[in-house]
Structure 1
Amino acid sequence: MKISEVAKSINIPISTIRYYEKIGIIPDEYIQRDQNNYRNYTPEIIHHLVVVKNSVAVGFSINDIHAMISKNGMSRYEQTHIIKEKISEIENVQKELEESKQGLYDILKLDITCEHGFGKYQ
């Protein structure tokens, strides 16, 4: 697959793919060279980059991702631990958002109008 095909199929910029190659997020096993030394990507690159894209979307740093995909980066136990930590972080943020939402509902129950200034009763 050409880089443009990979980028289009998973909706990420070509520059991101090149950056991931440069820093080692894309291992050499997913890249083949043709006679003209052009890159061709194996079909497995799609799954790999979807995992990377999803990992970035949930808040993993590039360094975390690099360490997790590196053969010598992290043990399976360490990977599981870091994923569980991320789940815990997300659950904490969800709890904080729920509390914030409830606070807003509480403000609405006070029947505060903005016509006379926020926080003033009629």
Structure 2
Amino acid sequence: MRIAEVSKKFDISQDTLRYYERIGLIPSVNRNESGIRDYSEDDCRWVEFVKCMRGAGLQIEVLNEYLDLFQKGDSTIEARKELLIEQRNLLAEKMEEIKATVERLDNKIDRYEQGLMVKEKLLRRTQN
């Protein structure tokens, strides 16, 4: 699959895909005889994984560390698992923070809506 197709499939710019490859966030993509990137299914799975993890806020350094461990083989399975557990825990904490913020915003919005309803009632009374 060419870079334009991968870009469209995952809604990632071609520049971002090249950047991810250049910094080692995704393994080097094979090239055809003309030197054009030819993404395999494995390459696409890496792109999808990185997009998901970056979208959730994982840092590039963490993903680079994970890829480095992955490329070292099965002897790093435990280290990879620990890295993922640590990131999962950080995301769970972040979710709780976001949940609390959403609740706070909901309360504030409710207060504004209640205030507007009171103003509308007063306005109607004065107009009658």
Q: Give the drift of 1:112.
A: 5.6
Q: Secondary structure at the match of 1:41?
A: coil
2:52 counterpart of 1:47: no
Aligned to 1:96: 101
**CA 1:36/1:104 → structure 2, altered by over 3 Å: closer, same or farther?**
closer
Aligned to 1:27: 27
Amino acid at match of 1:88: E
Higher fraction of helix: 2
Aligned to 2:59: 61
Higher fraction of strand: 1
Amino acid at match of 2:18: R
Name the TM-score, length of structure 1 as normaliser: 0.76
Computed over aligned residues only, the root mean square deviation of the Cα atoms, in angstroms, reads 2.4
Structure 2's unaligned 5+ residue stretches are: 121-125
CA–CA separation in structure 2 for the residues paired with 1:112 and 1:55: 45
Amino acid at match of 1:24: G
Identity percentage over the alignment? 21
Instruction: Give the alignment of 1:3-14 within 5 angstroms.
Output: 3-14=3-14
CA–CA separation in structure 2 for the residues paired with 1:64 and 1:52: 11
Structure 1's unaligned 5+ residue stretches are: 115-121
2:113 counterpart of 1:108: yes
Name the TM-score, length of structure 2 as normaliser: 0.73
Q: Give the drift of 1:108.
A: 2.9
Aligned to 2:123: none
* The 10-residue stretch of structure 1 (46-55 or 99-108) with the greater mean CA deviation from structure 2: 99-108
Amino acid at match of 1:36: S
Greater C-alpha Rg: 2
